[in-house]
Amino acid sequence: MHLKKKHVFATSIAALLAGLSIFTGITAATKAQAVKKNSTYLVGMEANYPPFNWTQQDNSNGAVPIQGSNLYANGYDVQMSKLIAKKLGKKVVVAKTEWDGLLPALTSGRINAIIAGMTPTPEREKTIDFTSAYYNSKQIVVVNKNSKFASAKNLKDFKGAKLTAQLSTVQYGLIDQIKGAIKEPAMKDFASMRVALESKTIDGYVAELPEGLSMATADPNAKYVDLSVKGGFKLNTKESQEAIGLKKNDPLEGKINQILAGISLKKRTQLMQNAVINQPKSDSQGNWFINIWKQYGIMLISGILMTLLLAIVGTGVGFVIGLLIGIVRTIPRPKKRAKRWSINFINWLLSVYIEIFRGTPMIVQAAVFYYGAAQVFNINFDRTTSALIIVSINTGAYLAEIIRGGIISIDQGQFEAASSLGMTHFQQMRKIVLPQAVRNSIPAVTNEFIVNIKDTSVLSIISVSELFFTGSTIAGQNFQFFHTYLTISLIYLVMTFTITRIFHLVEKHLEGPKNYDLMTNEFQVATPKIKGE
């Protein structure tokens, strides 16, 4: 029971300092953004859809920087972006964003344009404006070369096929034109569809011709069926086009359309051919595990560090939040009416906070905070800062109840003894209750830390480059889905195992020695013997 108060509050102070460091760069970042705003054209894309766009580790073949990282983006979309930005007198920087996050990123002002192979559908045109087309494509179905659908010639030949496409795309709607086809749930990205096709959980997926060329080049077991010919898909001209997405009434729309009109079909064809040639290729020689680390080691280490940063800061700051809420929510009921109402109101607010953040998924909280703060309040936090805030607040809601449970589990007699000595509530907490409550809560805090390491994967909704997001990017480039995700799983296992062992050592240290004698005092140097022994 002799746990000194410094053991409790050292962690709290360190966590507070870590939490404060989240916000120190906001002002500087805002000023830097203002300086660069006029010279930078921020383009949103997945950077995970070759040959349109992909992620690479250097600036070879004309790649451009990805915002907030030491990585680069390349592909047809990137090269088109560079041509447009050059005429506008700007430099391109890519905002690597998940497909579902592109529209809110544009409408909230986080990016200047979407150049990501997006089709100008009527639904999207209600939210944003589109330029004239910068690419015209054919619709195809990617299948396994040895499947019965590999010889298909028209829509009828796909009767009974399990088909899918990317979420919120024209291609997913086209499956309805195939009578007898089994429409599988839409998938969030092409990496997921490639995995599904490789594992044969689907028979094929609908995409555009460049994706078919890319997949056939990277995977010798895949081929595509062109369904833009007679007997194929029926769609209007716009549904076969890719255009640039802009905010409503963007003053640069006219200028960009003029630039696009000046780019010849020959130039566009050449750019796509170069993209297919330059897209990332996996090293299939030798040990796959060594090859992945050799080719993508820097990206993996970066993802690991980001995951650990989010988990450590989120758990540390969340612990402090939970500690403070636990103290406040266990304040004895005051006798004075005004104070009693004040305490009740504060407890009500804290209860609302806890219920909201424990009752909603963190993936939803991240999307609402990141995009909502910019769209509603015009506050632009960067992705990392937003992620740290969300993880910290979310963790605080869970740990608040854990700490409160630890406090009320302390024997009531200790509270009464402390009160009889004239101690205030906060003195009781600091000197008697919290050292015991925190020690008892260590297993639950450990569990929350491990959960945070794994749950940071949901932050891919705001494109934070943590470990899972990085792994998905790598899998989309090397087409070695099983090997890449197995590597990611092993890394998660090593991290959680290590953290568990570290917290076990901390818990053992806080327990103190077990071989002490309660009868021993400064006048006793040995345990008295009982007569008859």
pLDDT at 29: 45
pLDDT for residue 153: 93
What pLDDT score was predicted for residue 10?
Answer: 46
Distance CA 55, CA 66 (A): 8
Q: Nearest Cα to 61, choosing from 306, 273, 368, 262?
A: 273
From 319, 469, 300, select the one nearest 384 (Cα to Cα): 469
Q: Please give the structure tokens belonging to residue 382.
A: 């960067």
Start-end of H helices in 330-422? 337-359, 362-377, 383-408, 412-420
Q: Is 8 left (phi over 0), alpha (psi -120 to 50) or beta?
A: alpha
> For residues 486 and 211, what is the distance between their CA atoms, to the nearest angstrom?
25
Rounded Cα distance, 488 and 484, in Å: 6
Nearest to 55 by CA among 302, 368, 310: 302
The two tokens of residue 334 are: 């005051």
Structure tokens at 483: 């090997």
Question: Could you tell me which of 367, 366, 460, 479 has the C-alpha nearest to residue 97?
Answer: 460
The most distant pair of C-alpha atoms in the chain lies apart, rounded to whole Å, by: 107
Dihedral angle at the C-alpha atoms of 450, 451, 456, 458, nearest 10 degrees?
160
* CB of 78 closer than 8 Å to CB of 94: yes
Rounded to the nearest 5°, which phi and psi values hold at 525?
-115, -5
Q: Which tokens go with 133?
A: 């087309």
For every residue of 26-46, which 3-state class applies, written as one string? HHHHHHHHHHHCCCEEEEEEC
Helix (H) and strand (E) counts in the chain: 18, 13
Residue 106: pLDDT over 90 = yes
Is residue 169 within 8 Å of residue 117, measured between CB atoms?
no
pLDDT tens-place string over residues 47-98: 988 899 999 989 999 999 999 888 999 999 999 999 999 999 999 999 999 8
Long-range contact set of residues 515-521: C-beta below 8 Å, sequence gap at least 24: none
Between the alpha carbon of residue 294 and those of residues 63, 75, 213, 264, the distances in Å are: 21, 23, 26, 40
- Determine which of 108-117, 199-208, 234-243, 488-497 has the lowest per-residue pLDDT on average: 234-243
From CA 399, how far away is CA 378, in angstroms rounded? Answer: 31
Instruction: Judge contact between 244 and 114, C-beta under 8 A.
Output: yes
Q: pLDDT for 137-154, tens place per residue?
A: 899 999 999 999 999 999
pLDDT tens by residue, 428-486? 888 888 888 888 888 888 999 999 999 998 898 888 989 998 998 888 777 788 889 99
Is the pTM of the predicted complex or chain greater than 0.85? Answer: no
Specify the amino acid at residue 136: N
pLDDT tens per residue, range 178-189: 999 999 999 988
Residue 37: phi and psi, rounded to 5, are -55, -40
CB 533 within 8 A of CB 527: no
pLDDT for res 478: 79
Distances (CA, A) of 214 to 83, 273, 478: 23, 11, 11
Within 8 A by CB and 6+ apart from 275, the residues are 50, 51, 52, 74, 75, 76, 79, 210
Average pLDDT of the chain to the nearest whole number: 85
Encoded amino acid at 496, one letter: T
Structure token digits, residue 473: 């990017």
Q: How many CA within 13 A on the CB side of residue 417? A: 8
Tell me which of 20-24, 407-411, 425-429, 479-483 is least confident. Answer: 20-24
Using an 8 Å Cβ cutoff, are 130 and 124 in contact? yes
- Residue 135: name the closest of 114, 122, 121, 117 by CA: 117
Position 11 confidence tier, pLDDT thresholds 50, 70, 90: very low
User: Which residue is it, tokens 């592109």?
Assistant: 102
Confidence of residue 313 (pLDDT cuts 50, 70, 90): very high
The pair of structure tokens assigned to 129 is 């404006």
Tell me if residue 241 falls in helix, strand or coil.
Answer: strand
pLDDT digits (tens, 9 = 90+) for 322-349: 989 988 888 877 778 888 898 889 999 9
Angle, CA 119 vertex, CA 118 and CA 120 arms, to 5°? 115
pLDDT band at residue 512 using 50, 70 and 90 as cut-offs:
low
